[in-house]
A and B are shown apart, each in its own frame.
Chain A
């Protein structure tokens, strides 16, 4: 047990959801008669859900600052439509249309950020308004008609990496290359971290947990590489998945390794204390809301690329999937808690549920019911874990003075 802990780095609890995800995949694989863990299903899982996961990245940050954004579905739809219209009706080149769509996303974000940060309107209300405004806007500018999207965008929404090089690898070589890069990066970072901590703590930190960690990571990445790379010819690790991975790396770095990231958590954890520590609370609100709409625009454009046309009802209900992903990933409604990585796991749980239930032939109606129950169960599990009296064993070992004093108070009466 202790050794497992050393390998995984302390807190085992944060892996609960990962374990649940793996278990779900295995259960569906068996229940669907082996249809779950196949190259094409995994490719679809990623490229078909990348847009929701991208929204979830932004939503995590919004929820961490203690707000919520209900408008993301509408904003996605609106920006996707703007992109399609500028490309098709105005004959702009595809890249200009994409930039235009993203630019509109940023403007919308600035608009919502203004209401939240400058005027102090709760995000719930601001974005409820935004949800109506931009849903109406999509229908208005499109006149309720689908607009075809430039063909080049299909690559972003549902494309694959190129095929090249020798065929003896038995898989898509671009995917193989990605896998090798990922393993190398993992090894490099783990070793560098180990070296730094050894230097810092003076003593020699044991090397074996690091090595075990690298080997474990390499096995997992290697397996996924093979899974994604060995599909039918012409397929690989999907482009939307690649975009998602790049965004996750960027935003993970922003939230964990920059001052802005710290400010997000500080504002969500205790606004007054953050303000007294020199954090510009309004600016933090503004930028977070702005970023959310930018990511919504990106997700909307990718979705349009995938479906080759922008429709007036694109993005309906996406906000709810994004919010659910964040909460399943363990974020707190009160703000200040949650990570991008956990949110991605939460989002994948939702995606796997969708895909697995579909493979089993469960209808959309029942799928909705099950997803709702899973959301409740996940959050209830989290709340239960955090309640006093149900503290985990690690916490029990370091019980606070408070509880000790309370137990002692009846005795104090006698004196």
Chain B
């Protein structure tokens, strides 16, 4: 047994219904190092960490976890935390109304004679906060802290549990540059105190700055692991490993016939509704031609969805300026219904929480964004509704024995077709598709791609937002890249490849407007 290894994960396989999320992943982490894990969205990084921390209990996956020289069989988070493995999630999990001390000792309270010993808890909190470089009153409510400070409190909480292996899932995704630098500095400090860190990150510059080793995961498999010598990371190598997948013939052939520019956005600026002063869209400008499929690439949190939703009747964020022109005419669409009226459709990324009313059946869903079309004498006409639903069931090849079937009973692919049908029924000029193939199987994806092509051939302007670069390359005519709220570049898809895109998606300096 190699004593320098704190953790070995061998041949980890985790299967979800219909998806092989992890397929024989191997991960070796040395004691006291900072180990970065990178990979595209959906590559399996988070799943791997959930296996490690017992969120997916022992027995629900295959393979072996050797931790501190022994096989680990965690049944839940409590057990893995007891062993010194603490995971800090992308979304912070503290309770905003409670104080720092209360949050740190949540579920792990200092008890004396059956009661919580708050004095001891406060004292220990102060010590812990010092260790992460915070000088705060332990009674301060969490909601009064900035995101960066909250992150540090999370780490202090981890330290309170006597952490030996700290897992940080995209720790800097919500932080500004100063806070990020601070956090990275702290991680270096932890390393010197013999705490091993695993960091999941998209940001290559950060990985380069602090990692001792990098493991790249792709499609649920380990691509490669290598040590980083003296702070030098070969970014190109990481990018190649992250995306290096052959594009098979998964995309139907299509001859684009782009026409005039129909949809034009300029100087679009949106502020985060929750964090004052943070801009989620910084002066974005782009255009789409009729019959053109335009892709939008960006990593998670880059602001793609935020941009699209704010364009769609200011559905997200606080509008701070910019204009939309449709067929040369400037649009004023401050509400979703005005946007629909104007001929814009937005198919949201999360069909279950944003796209569908899961109580409804197919026929009610299809007409739900355009009830006007089925009115007769001021009342809804169920015959028209039935006709519309049947027509879309046929043209979209929705597999259901009747349009009265509830949408929950459909497969993911068919649900997505219902959502598409709902938006096609609004007869839009511009269709914004946000992750239209997420969570659906390959066959259904192919059908969705065909539908997208048909829409483009009808002269619609199609915007395709996707986390899957091969999909963007296979489907789009042109691709814009977004990084931290800015459009960093635009490539013709014949000139683009995954590496070029990834570079633009991770590096703001490439083409940042001044």
Contacts and interface: CB of A to CB of B under 8 A. Distances in A.
Interface of A: 196-197, 200, 253, 256-259, 261-262, 265-266, 269-270, 272-280, 336-337, 398, 400-402, 405-406, 408-409, 412-413
Chain B contact residues (Cβ within 8 angstroms of A): what range? 35 or more
Q: Residue among A262, A278, A280, A400 with the most chain B CB within 10 A?
A: A278
A230 B410 CA distance: 53
Contact of A398 (B315, B355, B409, B422): B409
B5 interface: no
B62 A266 contact: no
Contacts of B383: 196-197, 200
Q: Report the 4 A-B pairs with minimum CB-CB distance, sorted nearest first.
A: A405-B17, A269-B357, A278-B337, A277-B369
B343 to A, nearest CB: 12
11 contacts: A196-B383, A262-B380, A273-B354, A274-B357, A275-B315, A276-B355, A277-B336, A277-B368, A278-B337, A280-B337, A400-B409
B364 interface: yes
A276 B316 CA distance: 10
A270 to B, nearest CB: 4
A258 B312 CA distance: 25
A252 B411 CA distance: 33
Q: Residue among A197, A259, A273, A412 with the most chain B CB within 10 A?
A: A273
Contact of A262 (B353, B354, B371, B422): B371
A contact patch SS? helix
Nearest to A406: B17
A412 B15 contact: yes
Interface string B324-345: 0000000000011101110000
B312 A276 contact: yes
Contacts of B355: 273, 276
A272 B354 contact: yes
Interface in B296-351: 312-313, 315, 335-337, 339-341, 346, 348
Given A258-B379, A337-B359, A276 B336 contact: yes
B504 to A, nearest CB: 29
Given A200-B386, A402-B17, A409-B17, A278 B353 contact: no
Interface of B: 15, 17-18, 62, 312-313, 315, 335-337, 339-341, 346, 348, 353-360, 364, 368-369, 371-372, 375, 378-380, 383, 386-387, 401, 405, 408-411, 422
A273 B371 CA distance: 15
Contacts of B375: 259
A272 B401 contact: no
B380 A259 contact: yes
Contacts of A270: 353-354, 356-359
A272 B351 CA distance: 11
Contacts of B372: 259
Contact of B15 (A259, A273, A413): A413
Contact of A278 (B340, B360, B387): B340
A274 B353 CA distance: 10
A368 to B, nearest CB: 33
A137 B233 CA distance: 74
Contact of A269 (B339, B360, B379): B360
A201 to B, nearest CB: 9
Contacts of B379: 253, 257-258
Contacts of B358: 269-270
Nearest to B340: A278
Contacts of B380: 256-259, 261-262
Contacts of A257: 379-380
B332 to A, nearest CB: 16
B336 A269 contact: no
Nearest to A270: B357
